[in-house]
Structures are given as C-alpha cells and as structure tokens.
Structure 1
C-alpha cells in the first residue's frame, strides 16, 4: 500500500492532464489504467482512430481533388480495411508512446488494473497478479465512457456493432445502416459514404445535430446526400432481424424496411463507472453513468473530482484536457480559470463543421438583435486551390454594438479556422476588426473579411467604422 497526494483513475485526455498538472506542482501522483495501454477511448477507440480513418478515406478516395479532376477521381480504386488500418495503427502507436513518455518525464507512477473505491480515500486495484490498495488525499475520476448497448439490440460485433466496432471489422462493409444521427453517427455516415459504401442514417429527430446552426446543418445534409447518404428523419427502429446469410432487415416505424449487411447502433454513450463501487465513496452516477460536479469539477464528496466525458456535455478531448488541469489546480490551491462560454466545437464529418458562440436560433429565442455575414469558399481563392467550393463561414454579430456573437463554419479546415473568431470573441471584438484587418492571401482566413463585409453591408446606412 502507498499513499499519494493524488490518484487519477483513467489515462484519457482528462486523466493525463490532471496527473501531469499535479506532478508539475511537485505532488506525488499515481494514474490507474484498467486497459493494457494508456490513452483511454480518445487514443484507442474514439477520437484518434476515427479521425485517422477519416484522413485515410479522404486521401485514398481522392475526395479532396474531385472538384478539380472530376467526380469519378480516386487515388486507389479498391480500398481495403488493411489500407485504412495502416494509418490508424501508426498514429495510435505514436500517441501511446507520447503519453507514456509524458508520464515518465513527470514521474507519474503508472498502475495497471481495475480500480474500485473501498472508502472515500482508498482504492483497491485488481490486476492479473491479485489486488493492491492505495490511498490519496485527492482522487480524480476520469474513466470516460463506453458505447450504449441496450439489451434488446442483438449485437454480434460482426454484423451488428456499436460505435467502437467499426474499427475492429475485418472488411469494409458492403452497405451499412447507422441508427442515431448524433456526432459519432454523422461522422461515420459521411466517412463511409465518401469511401463508396451505401449508407442509411436513421434518426428520430427532425434534423441532424440540433445544437448546430440550422444553416450549417442544411449545407451538411445537402452534401451528405450528394455523396450517397440516405437520411431518415423523425423515424425510429422498431425491429431488427438477421437472416442466415448475415443480411439484416431493419424495420422502421413509418418507412419501408431497409436491408443491409452491417448495422451500427450509435445512440449515445454511458459512463464507464460500473467497476468503481461509487457507493463506497458516497457517490452515485445518474441513469447514463455520469457524475455531477461543480464549476471546479468537484463531486459532492469535495476531495473527489471528476473530469472528461464522465461528466457529460460537451464531452470533447479538448474540454476534457482543460477540465483535468483545472481539477488539479483547484485541489492544490492554484489559480485556474476555464472559459466555458467560448468552447469551440469540432465535428469531423465530411465536410467538417466547427462553431463557437451562439447560433441564430439561440439569439432569436433570447430576443437579441443580430445580423449575419457569410463567405463561401467558392468566392475565396484558397477554396478554389484546395478544391472545396461548397464550404462556408458565417459570422453573427449584434446589430447595435457590432460585437461578434458567434462563428460557424463548414468545409475543409473549419476546425482550424474557427480559432480566429474565438480569439476575437474572447476580447469582445467587433465585426469591424475583420473589415480592418489584412489577412494572408490566398488563405481561408480571408473568409472572415468577406463575411464581415457581407454582414456590414446589410446594416442600415450610413454606417461608420468603430472608433
């Protein structure tokens, strides 16, 4: 048994950064990981593998060059699962090494095994050789999530899979039905359609991703249909039958049944808390396995913190990292601040989407007077150079004060482009900033100037530059 200043459960983005931050403060830190490798869902089954898959598909399919060389252009005519796996495995191995080296450099002790609470300060870690107990002044729960697998869905991990299952298939699906139009379902639907797989995406909501600006989603849905995604909205699955030959028939509430070779169930994720014996620490998870925290990521037991996907929305690797750091700083009395009002959101569909700030629907509901300006990639030289003529950048700003209230983008590089708007918004900048500023040419950043001019020109005249 050993005593630590802090024990962290989980080596995903939140756990990594919580541990390293505490170590930087000179504390004795241990990190517990129940899998054989570090990195959590982010590196091993989620963010990194899915984004590596996306990049492999974009490259091998020649998708980025089709507007230049024609819709039939492909770099490789027959793309196998091995072709796609090479890139993913290369990136995963490198990311694992980076995390291992980071922990070693900062003298964070790695403890492999499955952790469960014995009492609020004590953890028992079960591993192949037995079990050991450790205590800590502070504990950070950063165990992440796992795919929801309802009992009524006949998962077989070959034909009927969850959102982690695609990356373990031994072949590219001949066709696929994806149930659930959330972020993961939307990303995989567009990636597989770009690869040439017939995709049917079924969602019970009236449109995809209702938290995203409606104009951006309308553009996404048009482009998804163009690449071969069949979308069913306001629809629910009422039955799943698998034939002897492996074909799957999906019965819908309203539309005709759909037959496919592969079905992915993508209706959310649940907190991976079932091993933790939370009741021994005086904690309880909600129906989705998530924990409740305050603004400093403290649970109802003050010396126990939780960070990352385990606390729910926004459940991003980027926000999880900041939450982990913040938790460690607060535990050891170091000042730290997390600006939750300006979190950028990235969705790695094809095309990718990113946003920061509020959208039109939110501002309308709040009765805020606003105006919008739009720049389309086809108007920008860089858009022509990279072969993306369908992307767009949208600025939303206050009609009276001209302060920028939201930035929304779809297209190549959207998740990078968004940070310019985020920085301006952080300092309560006005739309005039983009009008007055010179951007490199040719770049996608020029979209900000074009969108700002478009927005300003819609205001009543005369208008004057800001003082």
Structure 2
C-alpha cells in the first residue's frame, strides 16, 4: 500500500492547485480523478470550453455585423461551420487538460484514475476503471470533488432537448429557439453564444432581475445591452413545468400577475445553479456528513470535523468559482505545511463573460445599504473613453463605492470590454486597502479601458471626473 503525506480527491482547479502547492512544499502527494482527463468541470465542461465558444461566436458576430464599419469587406456570405467550431473548442480543452497532466508529472505527484472513496479517515479505496482496485493511505486528505448542474424537481433532464450546460457545450446544431431557465452567469453566457450564432433566445428568470447577486446597476446595464442584441427576458417568472413532444419543448411558467404563460422552443437550457458533488465518497466511513445543501461542513481553516480531512471549492460554502477553489487549495496546502495563509473572501472577484463583460469585487450598493454603511459612489461611462470609441465597445461603466469617512474602496463594479481582466486592478487596490483618492492619483495609460477606473475613482473622491 502506498502512503502519502497528502491525498487530493478531485483534479479541478482547487484539487490540482492544492496538489501542486503541497508538492512544492515538500509533501509526498497523490491526486485521484474519476474521469479520464484532469481539470474537473472548469477545464472540461465549464470555464474553458464556454470561453472558447464565446470567443468563436464573438468573431462570427463581428464578421457579420461589425467588420463593414471597420472597412473590412468579406465577399460572399459569412457561414458558420458548427462542427469545426466545436472541434476547436475540444482542441482547446485537450491542450489545457494535458497541461495539467504535465504539471502533475513535473511536480512528481502520483495520479490515480478511478473513483476514490473513504475506507476510514486515513485510507482511500480507489475503484479503478481498468485493472485492479487500489488502496492508499494519507496523513492528510483534501476533498475537492466540485459540483454538478442543479435542476428543478419537476424537470427531467433528457440531455437531448432538455439540457444542462454540459450538453449545451456540445450541440450538433444551432437551436431555432433556445429557452434558458435562469438568468445567472452560465445561462447568460451560453444564451449569448447561441444568440450570436442565429438562435432565438428567451431567458426565463424567477427573480426580478438577471445576475441577482451582483450590483443592481450591472444587472440593469447588461439587461439593456442584451435586449439590444435581441435576447428576450421574462423576469419574475416562476417555471412550473417543462415537457417535450418530439423536437418541441414547452416551458410553462407563472408571471408576476399570477397568470400562466407558455414558451415553445426546440431546446431548453436548465441553468438554475450548481450543487455540491459528494456522490460515492462514502463520507460516513470517515466520520463526515453533509449539510442541508449537500456541502461538506468546514471551519475557517477549511478543516472538516475530522481534523486531518479538509474540503475546498464548490463542495464547501461560498461562491462556486474556479479561482476561489484555487485560493482555497493553496490555503489548505500551506496550512498542512505549518504556514499561516490568508484568504479574504470579500476580495474574490465575480465575472460574467458575456460581451460586454461584467465584473465585481467587494460590496454591492445594496449590501452597503442593508448593512447601514455610509458610502459614496463614483461612476464613469465607458462611452466617454477614446479607447472605447476606437474599438466600438461603448456600453458599460465602472462604479467605485468608497467609505464616506475614510475613502477606503469598499466595492468596484464594472460592465464593459475586458473588465474580466480589469477587475484585477480593483482587487489589488482593495487588498492594500486603497482609498478612492489613491486610485485617482495613479497614472493610467492612454488610451485604455482602464482609464475608466481612474475616472470613477475621481468621481467617488470629489465628484471631479475629468472626461464627463
């Protein structure tokens, strides 16, 4: 029987990063993955393939709608080769997952393909897909088994016409009418992909706005822009049923006036969030249990009630984000090694990779009001930037919220081109507890989208943005 300092169950962004950091710290490490490829949901059926399709569909939309205004003329009709688009996506995924295998080998981490389950608190049984089962022993164990798409109890996912994000990433035809249940990140991203490719897209959302956990100004702006792009929104609609008759799917819902409405299409994308995945772990054998939402309970050190077992990522409380899982993976590895790491969950950014992109970090305006915090707000429109006009990406804004007395930045909320990258500036500033005036006095290169951050900081500092 092989013995390790640390065994990691699950090779998603949290799991593989935890394994790498453990190995860097001199700990003998093993990682267990049930699937043939490493990388978990994010690399295989989440972050990476969805971004590949978002980029490909964006190129197509630019060719059809925007190239002409740039003086680029394409003779003949611009056509979609969906099979080739999906093939490129698969190639991107393959390159990325193989990169994880390379990192495991480079860091001398032993990998096991099979289903890992607890035999007791230090022993893991691995049901190997091909060959004899294996048992290993580990002084410390990290659970990083991630999440799976959620559904509603009355919906039967058939993976053909009634689908989750997993199936939406590998369709062999462009839908005529895709009905998206859920106006969150995943539904909006994939809905925009197929809208660009020619589908009619209807988003049915239970809440009174899309991306309801983000700042309401972002929700309002993204709704306006996506409506302009042709996406239809049905807010404050409670879905009651989903049925299929051949190639037709029907969604029934109740609107805010308690009237029943019906939507007909050829595909329904069920995008109502994700749920922690612990199936097959045999947690009871290690003395563990899950909470009422199926998550593994942990303390502030991400330690379970069994002291040598930790859990990270989507399987524990908090936002289900790949970069949050990575931070937790490093945190646990360093904790096991006797260091004293730190995570500020308030500074984990959230991003929606639609176009324009949406990004946030820190407190929203609604949260500050609810908490009774006195704050000031500065906002700057992207359309006032020379860089935005040059690229044609004039939708969106940057909003900075700062403490009314101290001027410390409490939250930054953006909609616009490349704000998924730009939010890192805000995270850095807030990590060092910068004031709005600090940001306003930093030089920002011209012409860039980042100038909007400086201008918003000027607006928050003394209502003195320069270019509006």
Output the CA distance in 2 between the equivalents of 1:255 and 1:149. Answer: 21
User: Which residue in the other structure is 1:218 paired with?
Assistant: 220
Output the CA distance in 1 between the equivalents of 2:265 and 2:323. Answer: 35
User: Which residue in the other structure is 1:463 paired with?
Assistant: none
Output the CA distance in 1 between the equivalents of 2:293 and 2:85. Answer: 32
Output the CA distance in 2 between the equivalents of 1:159 and 1:257. Answer: 17
Tell me the CA shift for residue 162 of structure 1. Answer: 1.3
Is contact 2:417–2:449 with CA below 8 Å preserved after alignment?
A: no
Runs of 5+ in structure 1 lacking a partner? 460-467
1:454 aligns with 2:459: yes
Is contact 2:63–2:78 with CA below 8 Å preserved after alignment?
A: no
User: Which residue in the other structure is 2:422 paired with?
Assistant: 417
User: Which residue in the other structure is 1:82 paired with?
Assistant: 83
Mark the CA change 1:18 to 1:234 in structure 2 (over 3 Å): closer, same or farther.
Answer: same
User: Which residue in the other structure is 1:62 paired with?
Assistant: 62
Q: Secondary structure at the residue paired with 2:331?
A: helix
Mark the CA change 1:28 to 1:315 in structure 2 (over 3 Å): closer, same or farther.
Answer: same
User: Which residue in the other structure is 2:164 paired with?
Assistant: 162
User: Which residue in the other structure is 2:150 paired with?
Assistant: 148
1:443 aligns with 2:444: no
Is contact 2:429–2:439 with CA below 8 Å preserved after alignment?
A: no
Q: Secondary structure at the residue paired with 2:295?
A: coil
Q: Secondary structure at the residue paired with 2:48?
A: helix
- Residue of 259, 263, 268 corresponding to 1:258: 263
Q: Secondary structure at the residue paired with 2:140?
A: strand
Q: Secondary structure at the residue paired with 2:22?
A: helix
Mark the CA change 1:193 to 1:87 in structure 2 (over 3 Å): closer, same or farther.
Answer: same
1:132 aligns with 2:134: yes
Tell me the CA shift for residue 150 of structure 1. Answer: 5.0
Correspondences of 1:334-373 after superposition (within 5 Å): 334-373=339-378
User: Which residue in the other structure is 2:7 paired with?
Assistant: 7
Correspondences of 1:232-243 after superposition (within 5 Å): 232-243=234-245
- CA offsets 1:385-435 (integer angstroms, 9 cap, x no match): 221011211111122222222111011111111111222222222222233
1:179 aligns with 2:181: yes
Is contact 1:67–1:387 with CA below 8 Å preserved after alignment?
A: no
Output the CA distance in 1 between the equivalents of 2:28 and 2:421. Answer: 36
User: Which residue in the other structure is 2:207 paired with?
Assistant: 205
Q: Secondary structure at the residue paired with 2:307?
A: coil
Correspondences of 1:418-433 after superposition (within 5 Å): 418-433=423-438
Output the CA distance in 2 between the equivalents of 1:432 and 1:378. Answer: 23
User: Which residue in the other structure is 1:109 paired with?
Assistant: 110
Tell me the CA shift for residue 360 of structure 1. Answer: 1.1
Runs of 5+ in structure 2 lacking a partner? none
Output the CA distance in 2 between the equivalents of 1:68 and 1:407. Answer: 35
Output the CA distance in 2 between the equivalents of 1:74 and 1:51. Answer: 25
Mark the CA change 1:10 to 1:77 in structure 2 (over 3 Å): closer, same or farther.
Answer: same
Correspondences of 1:197-346 after superposition (within 5 Å): 197-244=199-246, 246-253=247-254, 254-346=259-351
Is contact 1:68–1:387 with CA below 8 Å preserved after alignment?
A: no
Output the CA distance in 1 between the equivalents of 2:416 and 2:74. Answer: 20
Output the CA distance in 2 between the equivalents of 1:142 and 1:261. Answer: 36
- TM-score of the aligned structures, taking structure 2 as reference length: 0.93
Is contact 1:64–1:387 with CA below 8 Å preserved after alignment?
A: no
Tell me the CA shift for residue 77 of structure 1. Answer: 3.0
Mark the CA change 1:378 to 1:213 in structure 2 (over 3 Å): closer, same or farther.
Answer: same
User: Which residue in the other structure is 1:47 paired with?
Assistant: 47
Tell me the CA shift for residue 265 of structure 1. Answer: 1.1
Q: Secondary structure at the residue paired with 1:257?
A: strand
What is the Cα-based RMSD across aligned positions, in Å? 2.1
Is contact 2:351–2:360 with CA below 8 Å preserved after alignment?
A: yes
Is contact 2:6–2:138 with CA below 8 Å preserved after alignment?
A: yes
Tell me the CA shift for residue 63 of structure 1. Answer: 7.2
Is the deviation greater in 358-367 or in 9-18?
358-367
